[in-house]
Amino acid sequence: MCGIVATIGLGPAIPVLLDGLRRLEYRGYDSAGLAVVDGGQLTLHRQVGRVRELARQVPGTLPGHVGIAHTRWATHGKVTQANAHPHVDADRRIAVVHNGIIENMGVLKARLQASGVVFRSETDSEILVHLISRYYAGEDGVPAGDPLAAVRAALRVVRGTWGIAVLFADEPDMIIAARNGSPLVVGLGDGQTYLASDPHALIAYTRRVVFLEDGDVARIDARGVQTFQLDGGLVDSVIETMDEVWGDEDSGDYPHLMLKEIYEQPEALERCLSGRIVPAGGTAKLGGLDMAPKDLAKLSRVGLLGCGTAFHACQVGVQLIEQLARVPAKAEIASEFRHRNPLVDPDALFFALSQSGETADTLGAVREIQVKGGTVMGIVNVVGSSIARSCGRGVYIHSGPEMAVASTKAFSNMISALAVFTLMLARQRTLSAYDGRLYVEQLLAVPDLVRRYLENPGPIDTLVEWVKDAGLVLFLGRGLSAPVAAEGALKLMEVAYVPCIAYPSGEMKHGPIALLETGSPVIVIAPRDELRDKTLSNLQECKARGARVAIIHTEGDDIAQHADLSIAVPETSPFFSPLLTVLPLQLLAYRTGLALGCDIDRPRNLAKSVTVE
């Protein structure tokens, strides 16, 4: 992984490839490369570092109307030019870019080496190009000189996941693509066809697209695409029109995308709530669920699945559902879920949360639930993503494009979408119309409260000085604030590389307290709720060990006097406090990363969309 772009048609390939790679930079990567065919010759360029460094290496007059390109996020092999994609066969006549993981790499590599193949990289991806080359030459009964047959034959012997694009010097009028567990979308233009791992790379060129499904192999030329099953015949391609998207991909007047997206949260929240709240009835509607009140009444439990930031949103959602709707609920780390052979209640409803809708572990959990006869829906941001299409039903969170690797506004909108679902479920179960209207009033007020806080965020820079050189930062919170503490720790680690741990406050004395010493920074999330006094006791325990305690609290609460530093957020219902208490933590991560000279929008070793397990 991480990004694939390809094009074929009347226009020159290089500008499209480089532009597409730039549009995919937000996903995170460590090297980039491209290959084009012109006059029967394949030209390859690869570079460690940013796309701009690859662009400097590529001659501005390089000809060719067909090409493939890739940004790599290392899985197998170090970050080197040799490990960058595309990979080529021994004769430099075939080039391959690959997202995914080849699980039987060891066996296949040993077999190829025994037959005389010399590997130039440490990657599993290089195996594919050598296999395709052998079958293209006519081995094992595969018709010689048939690109489609060669790719099919190679994919039959590999195990794992792939999204690939294959370029043949001898076949300059086509690109072969295939998908299994790693997204690919074909864009249809006028005399020009495009391929990408993310629709965002295509939006400047076309809105007419064909999403490849798992098991598809596609023949792409300037006229369009033909799609086949890996072991079968032609597939009817469904042409879809991509919707308009909100926001811009650049940082505008902000120095970084992350900061822009933090400040976009009021508008993002308003979009998420718009048209879904019924104030007069104190209820809500989510048409994408296609569930009537009688369907909600049958639910035995609710399961929420996600990874990273999405999992923290799941933890908030579980508490909302149980406290308000009185329905058993559980948050699951998607990467663990399907590997423990879970029990799936056919009367339960599962939600899969993912900003990109392409998270491989979450998609795997979706498929496991479906295999076991369960009902699963998506809560995603990207329209037409794999999770959205696999589930068929669900909720779009309408954050608009989130381009910084560290997620901010998607976290808030996932919680908001779950808050809307909770209202639907609670009104059907336990919540009166009066209490429903109060809930609605408080929820609709949140975007303005977020806006108000961001106008005056408090002494964040003082807290930056505490944490930027700390050996460890401890985050604490109880109830709905425990996942907020976890999200704050995750953000500070992601953006500023500061070691952090997060614990429910009551668990602090069961281990983490041993780490505290004089001056240790502790960040406590303590809004005015029923657990406020319990949290205060834990705060005092930290102070007694010499720790420096910063508290994020509700405006006007005198709990601030017990801390060394306080940051106040506007008052709201305790149910919606995470949407406000997370804001100082997002700003802390941003400003700490800035103070340490980190690459804010593209942190090291991270990818925006994790499409491999």
Structure tokens of 170?
């001898």
* DSSP for 219-243, written as a single string: EEETTEEEEEETTS-EEPPPPEEPP
Angle at 526 between CA 520 and CA 532, to 5 degrees: 120
3-state secondary structure of 260: helix
Q: Rounded CA gap, 562 and 552, in Å?
A: 12
- Give the strand order in the sheet containing 175-180: 87-88, 94-102, 160-168, 175-180, 216-221, 224-229, 234-235
Contact between 326 and 424 (Cβ < 8 Å) = no
Q: Where are the beta strands (DSSP E) in 394-540?
A: 394-396, 473-477, 500-504, 521-526
Q: Rounded CA gap, 193 and 202, in Å?
A: 10
Catalytic residue among 2, 307, 314, 598: 2
377's CB contacts (< 8 A; 6+ apart) are 288, 289, 349, 350, 351, 352, 391, 392, 393, 394, 395
198's CB contacts (< 8 A; 6+ apart) are 3, 23, 24, 27, 183, 185, 358, 609
Helix axes 578-595, 433-455, angle to 10 degrees: 20
Q: Where are the beta strands (DSSP E) in 537-585?
A: 548-554, 565-569
Q: Rounded CA gap, 24 and 73, in Å?
A: 12
Cβ neighbours of 608 (radius 10 Å) = 26
345: which DSSP letter?
-
Is 2 labeled as catalytic in the residue annotation? yes
Distant-in-sequence contacts of 562-565, Cβ < 8 A, 24+ apart:
562/536, 563/524, 563/539, 565/459, 565/462, 565/463, 565/466
Q: Residue-wise over 423-445: b if at least 16 C-beta within 10 A, else e?
A: bbbbbbeebeeeebbebbebbee
What are the residue ranges of helices labelled H in 468-576?
481-496, 532-544
Q: Rounded CA gap, 466 and 474, in Å?
A: 12
Is 608 labeled as catalytic in the residue annotation? yes
Catalytic residue among 409, 468, 491, 608: 608
Contact between 306 and 353 (Cβ < 8 Å) = yes
Measured between its terminal Cα atoms, the distance across the chain in Å is 11
Contact between 169 and 40 (Cβ < 8 Å) = yes
Distances from the Cα of 405 to the Cα of 1, 64, 84, 491, angstroms: 15, 33, 21, 10
Q: Rounded CA gap, 354 and 609, in Å?
A: 9
Structure tokens of 345?
């209640």
3-state secondary structure of 451: helix
Q: Rounded CA gap, 50 and 607, in Å?
A: 14
Q: Which residues are catalytic?
A: 2, 608
